[in-house]
Amino acid sequence: MTARILVVDDVPANVRLLEAKLTLDYYDVLTAADGPTALRIAKAELPDIVLLDVMMPGMDGFEVSRRLKADPVTRHIPVILVTALDGREDRIQGLEAGADDFLTKPIDDVVLMARVRSMIRLKAAMDELREREESGRRLGLAEGVGRLRSSGARVLVVDDNPQQANRLLAELGGEHRVVHESDPNAALMTCRGPVDLLIVNAAADSFDGLRLAAQVRSQEASRNLAILAIVDPGERARMLKALELGVNDILSRPVDQQELAARVRTQVKRKRYADFLREKLDFSLEMAVTDPLTGLHNRRYMTSQLQALLQRANHGGEPVAALLLDIDHFKGVNDGFGHDAGDEVLREFGVRLATNVRAVDLPCRLGGEEFVVLMPGIRLEDAGRIAERIRMNVEAAPFRILGGQELLPITVSIGVAASVAPHETPESLLKRADDGVYEAKSRGRNVVVARAA
């Protein structure tokens, strides 16, 4: 596998050493001795990888990485920071500056080549994306890529260590929709659905985390999923095998919470960037399928997914249930406290909704104060129980508004419907759920009503 690699270091001996190692493995090597020169070469030559020293006079590696990632021409180029610094603050600063990976001096040759090969695979996958971004920029559409968000992701944590898993869920739950699974077979099934990131404990006692990663990569439905593996720092062979199998990133135990959050954001944004061009969207995937206020899927995405789910259900597949949720007296929130407070309620409602449904369910914002949850493989009575759990969670604790200065009690009315094969349509299913909401409102609100066909 050949590629062009830009080596950036202000120490000539370091440059010559890296150049010699990479050339022996048949890579073409470009060099730069300072940040401004590196930026100029990167933009002109578009290398496949940048190996970037951190400690340089004038413009350090963090700033060079930040500028590379800010430029639409070079943002797709993987950046590996090479540093003598091994502190967590430096890793976090590098990740926030856009770096894709790290190498610590003195450089381990085997680790160097493994990291380089991993980044080359990433670059190959991104080449098509860059071409599409160029097309979008010529049409004046490049701004959409810059709006891709790194929050609101569906993250699956697969770990048989309950203490470690709970820490991961606590750290990531405020920014993402996180679910935990300790059974690798169940996790493999979940990965076939709309998951953005898989975090797997590669040092698990009860299952082989790397085998799970390999299985995820082999499935058509999940092979583009971002994977973050947690490894013990002394398990060098396991780390190398993880990279060989196509794991996107490695995190050492014990897990540093800030570094975890930074690496997850990096992987989520990269995954969404890849999806954006892979699916040939002219605008940001985030704008196309996600409600920007709540981070849930939007009406457009809900419509397409419901059509596909019902088509399978009508041809002998699993049934589909739908919840239609309407926040009670929401107009009073906007009128009494202002639209900013209303937005705070909607955002918090989105979080509560997403954290009280199953991993395979699709919570969506329909518009205004109306939400929909699509629930594949579930029948009416079970969907009703989940709807009741959501209703109770919303009612249980008041919503903080006006920056936390006010506590506002909120309730929700929910209609539930389930598909009836073989002639169910999206319109008929949602109409029954909407009728359930109407009945819930007429019964005094804060009620769940299930409507059979």
Compute the distance between CA of residue 319 and CA of residue 317 in angstroms, rounded to an integer: 7
Compute the distance between CA of residue 24 and CA of residue 60 in angstroms, rounded to an integer: 28
Select which of 175, 348, 369, 424 is catalytic.
369
Single-letter code of the amino acid located at 47: P
Compute the distance between CA of residue 324 and CA of residue 337 in angstroms, rounded to an integer: 25
- Residue 316: Cβ-neighbour burial (10 angstroms; 0-12, 13-18, 19+): exposed
**Is 302 within 8 Å of 372 (Cβ atoms)?**
yes
Told to judge if 19 belongs to the known catalytic residues of this protein, a careful annotator would answer: no
Compute the distance between CA of residue 412 and CA of residue 420 in angstroms, rounded to an integer: 26
Compute the distance between CA of residue 296 and CA of residue 67 in angstroms, rounded to an integer: 31
Integer angstrom CA distances of residue 117 from 113, 121, 137: 6, 6, 29
Instruction: State the DSSP H helix or E strand holding residue 226, giving kind and residue range, or none if neither.
Output: strand 226-231
Coil, strand or helix at 47: coil
Q: Which tokens is 421 given?
A: 């094969």
H helices of 181-226, in order, are 184-190, 209-218
Residues whose CB is less than 8 angstroms from the CB of residue 435 and which lie 6 or more positions away in sequence, other chains included: 415, 451
- Residue 125: Cβ-neighbour burial (10 angstroms; 0-12, 13-18, 19+): middle
Coil, strand or helix at 221: coil
Q: Which tokens is 409 given?
A: 């009690």
Is the previous residue joined to 426 through a cis bond, with omega within 30 degrees of 0?
no
Chain position carrying tokens 């996600």: 290
Would you name the residues annotated as active-site residues?
Answer: 369
